[in-house]
A and B are shown apart, each in its own frame.
Chain A
Amino acid sequence: MSLFNKNYSKLSDEELMSLLAKGGQPAFDELYKRYAKPMLNFFFRLLNNDRERAEDMLQDLFMKIIEHPESFDRTRTFKTWFYTLAGNMVKNEYRSRNIRNEHAQLQILDSITYNTETHDKSLFQQKLNAELSNLDADSRLLFELRFTEEMSVRQIAEIMDCAEGTVKSRLFYLTKLLAKKLKIYKPELN
């Protein structure tokens, strides 16, 4: 049987994408297995921990590759192309939910005051989330790709469609800004 059954787990993302375009369900299953969780968490963090919306967006993202697999740019790696799609979806979502952002931010700040006696790490995470929610979509995306997804500058440049130098300088100023804002919560640094 192994002669006829492909071992999909050994195939690259790009090969799986080709098989998916031909209607291969196992190829789709394998891609889903690889990317569903990271993409869900990517959306979850960027949408202020809104699980329901994150799942909706995850579904929409995979629908795009089911319905239009031909839109995959074969000159790029699947991962960066997929994150570009996801990043664009997040940017669109940010444009349509400016008002809701304020609400989410208030919720985060409330949780901080409520949990004042929790551990420093948790406190830092909450404050960081609050500061991140104040950022524009591009900066937020930049932070996620760099620090959570741990992507290289080259990959980020490809996803955000800008020069590597631009990514580096924006990362530097973003880190500097966040460090300055979070400094008040780290008394030892004052």
Chain B
Amino acid sequence: MNDNQFDKIDKLLISKSFDQLSASEKEMVLQTMTKEEYMSMHQLYEQINESQPDEIEPSLNVKSKLDKVFLQHHRKERFFMLKTPLYQSAAVAVVFFLLGFGLNYFKQTPERIIYQPKEIVRYVDRPVKQIEYVKVIEKQYIQSTDNSIKKSDEETIQQRTQNEIAENNNYLNGDSIGESMENDTLLKQMLVTLN
């Protein structure tokens, strides 16, 4: 059966019973199917047209759910698809760059010197002279690399030393007579006791 035949027979099945067909139509129909087949198919078409099934209505719940989804979806989309002109975007980028640059320029990071110990191991096969520089209190020791101490300093040192010796001799000779005091050293206390 070609397309034309189908179209014609389809129209006939919808509109005419077998008895209502013309002789030429019957001839065309019978080339494709039997009389009984035509009659049953025509009945089927009629029945289908007559007995349209009952229709149902969609519940309101469906629409409200879809509305929520629609709002959520397009709210997100609007945010991401916000159209800003290129020059505005470029201007914002420049402002941010300058702001960052300025902050870095004016910001002085505090500097702190850190002495990191550096350990050096040297293997030597001969005697090595090691000079150690020690930091000492100036009152007790006076060191000088070139032995060029000033005269006034020398005198001061000599006088101070003599005073100290005399003080000690006084203790030993009993020139210092008196009682021991709370703040006296143990040696002084012993000297007072002996006297």
Contact = CB atoms under 8 A, between A and B. Distances in A.
Interface of A: 23, 25, 28, 32, 36-37, 40-41, 44-45, 51, 54-55, 58-59, 62-63, 66-67, 121-122, 124-125, 128, 147-148, 164-165, 168-169, 171-172, 175-176, 178-180, 182-183, 186, 189
A165 B53 CA distance: 29
A183 B51 contact: no
Instruction: Say which size band chain B's interface belongs to.
Output: 35 or more
A170 B58 CA distance: 32
A32 B44 CA distance: 33
Contacts of A67: 69, 73
B36 interface: yes
A41 B3 contact: no
A172 B66 CA distance: 39
Nearest to A62: B66
Given A147-B48, A164-B3, A179 B43 contact: yes
A68 to B, nearest CB: 10
Contacts of A59: 62, 65-66
Contacts of B74: 23, 25
Given A63-B66, A189-B40, A125 B51 contact: yes
Contact of A179 (B3, B44, B67): B44
A121 B56 contact: no
B43 to A, nearest CB: 6
21 contacts: A25-B67, A32-B63, A32-B66, A36-B63, A37-B57, A37-B58, A40-B56, A55-B61, A66-B70, A124-B47, A125-B53, A128-B51, A172-B6, A175-B41, A175-B44, A176-B37, A179-B40, A179-B43, A182-B40, A186-B40, A189-B43
